[in-house]
Amino acid sequence: MPELPEVQTIVNDLSGTVVGKRIESVQVFRDAIVQLDPERFVNRLTDTVIRAVYRRGKYIVFELSGPLWMVVHLRMTGKFSVQPSPAPVHIHNRVIFQLGDRQDMIFNDLRCFGTIDLTEQIDKYPALNQLGLDPWDHRLTAPGLYKVLQHRTANIKSLLLNQTIIAGLGNIYVSEILFDACIHPDTKGYQLSKKQVTQLLRSTRTILSDALTFNGTSISDYRRVDDKQGTFQNFLKVYGKAGSPCHRCASTIQKIKQNQRSTFYCSQCQQKKRSFKRLPA
DNA sequence: AGCGGAACCTGTCGGC
DNA sequence: TGCCGACAGGTTCCGC
């Protein structure tokens, strides 16, 4: 569900509603979500104050007094909402944080893929340290990305989904980015030219910025903290558009499976370039 | 090392 | 109507 623009929107919403609040009590309804003993989880969180909320890749990090950090991943269907306490009962509510001002911060997750963990050393948290650069990080450059992709034999679609290369992209935006950059999703990493990689990075930043401006893409599950929808779904050019005419050339948008996941693209605009490049050593 | 496939869990939708 | 398979925005683990 949530990719970088959705996670950033949620972080922005939470920053405006829960920062400065004290966690008075915590209820865990589904133990598997919490990555440590639930009783210990509750004890360590109780009476901490939320100092800040920020994003790294698709992870949400709550900086708490202690100091302590709560690291959350929404996976496919995780959501946060903030409601007056006591919040109405909902079968998919997995963890409820009761805040000091009679507000509840609720973690709701239909599929239970989401995770919530605690750490006292955020700098040494493995999942975050394994992430690649964020798309807007100035250290992420076209020559640098080209160099990485040159040694890769996988298709560019799955390489863009790989969070250790660039952090934050998911299935919707990768299709949109490759369409914007006119790159065929089955192009192998090493087959991309410098020019294509430059365009790829430019498209990545443009698409994500636009999606963030519209508070993300609400197709089925994703909702903001106040339950409002994002609106970028109104601007998608290829994702979920199989059979529709291409915005650029009017030929039919195709749907294929790559590594068990759907990819949407225009076979006219995104042609595989004939390449004589050798396989990487 | 890096790749592709299966698995994790729950719900919805379309076809027969 | 009912059943069954396919599919869903993500990640991790496993075998090759």
User: pLDDT by residue (tens digit) across A79-114?
Assistant: 999 999 999 999 999 999 999 999 999 999 999 999
pLDDT over 80 (residue A281): no
Tell me if residue A21 is catalytic: no
Tell me the CA–C1' distance in angstroms for A68 and B6.
35
Q: Which candidate in A3, A6, A63, A176 is catalytic?
A: A3
pLDDT over 90 (residue A221): no
pTM above 0.75, yes or no: yes
Q: Which candidate in A44, A56, A58, A79 is catalytic?
A: A58
Distance in angstroms (rounded) separating the CA atoms of residues A96 and A27? 5
For residue A234, the model assigns a pLDDT of: 95
Tell me if residue A56 is catalytic: no
Tell me if residue A75 is catalytic: no
Tens of pLDDT along A240-259? 999 999 999 999 999 999 99
Nucleotide nearest to A188 (CA to C1'): B3
Q: Which of A26-35, A47-56, A175-184, A212-221 has the lowest mean pLDDT?
A: A212-221
Distance in angstroms (rounded) separating the CA atoms of residues A16 and A37? 30
For residue A274, the model assigns a pLDDT of: 62
Quickly count: other Cβ atoms within 10 Å of residue A171's Cβ: 18
For residue A3, the model assigns a pLDDT of: 97
> Mean pLDDT for chain A?
95
pLDDT over 60 (residue A260): yes
A218 CB below 7 A from strand C atoms: yes
A189 CB below 7 A from strand B atoms: yes
For residue A195, the model assigns a pLDDT of: 98
Please, which residues bridge with residue A135 across strands? none
Q: Which nucleotides in chain B lie closer than 7 A to a protein CB? A: 2-11
Residues 6+ apart with CB under 8 A from A174: A157, A160, A161, A185, A263
For residue A275, the model assigns a pLDDT of: 56
Tens of pLDDT along A121-144? 999 999 999 999 999 999 999 999
Amino acid type, A120: E
Q: Which candidate in A21, A30, A75, A261 is catalytic?
A: A261
A111 CB below 7 A from strand C atoms: yes
pLDDT over 60 (residue A279): no
Tell me if residue A3 is catalytic: yes
Distance in angstroms (rounded) separating the CA atoms of residues A43 and A175? 43
Task: Name the pLDDT band for A220 (thresholds 50, 70, 90).
Answer: confident
Provide mean pLDDT across the span A32-53: 97
pLDDT over 90 (residue A280): no
Distance in angstroms (rounded) separating the CA atoms of residues A21 and A64? 10
For residue A77, the model assigns a pLDDT of: 96
